[in-house]
């Protein structure tokens, strides 16, 4: 068996081994980007809870740019993107 860092690659064909390594790298990159999305959403929620409307609006605009970018790249589903933006914009309007 071929050992690749933490786990084993079960593939025998050269191209299958390469695909396994590539998918592992992509999975790690996507996890990092999903973490970034969650961080931006939490920032907006933090400012909303603390009543800092000006900072919340600035963070909301940055969050929109980030999640739209990652939605276009397939990291985040378009409906989930819309749900986050809708929910947070409604909370911003209530401030």
For residue range 56-75, what is the model confidence (pLDDT) as tens digits? 999 999 999 999 999 999 99
Would you say residue 7 has pLDDT above 70? Answer: no
Tell me if the domain spanning 2-94 has CATH number 2.120.10.30. no
pTM value is 0.78
Q: Buried (b) or exposed (e) across 1-37, using 16+ Cβ within 10 A?
A: eeeeeeeebeeeeeeeeeebeeeeeeeeeeeeeeeeb
- List of long-range contacts for 54-58, beta carbons under 8 Å, 24+ apart: 56/92, 56/95, 57/92
């Amino acid at each position: 068996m071929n050992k690749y860092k933490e786990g084993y690659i079960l593939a025998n064909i050269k191209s299958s081994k390469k695909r396994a390594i590539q998918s592992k790298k992509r999975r790690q990159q996507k996890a990092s980007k999903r973490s970034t999305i969650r961080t931006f959403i939490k920032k907006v929620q933090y400012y909303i809870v603390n009543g800092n409307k000006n900072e919340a609006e600035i963070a909301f605009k940055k969050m929109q740019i980030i999640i739209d970018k990652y939605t276009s790249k397939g990291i985040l589903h378009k409906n989930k993107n819309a749900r986050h933006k809708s929910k947070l914009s409604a909370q911003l309007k209530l401030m």
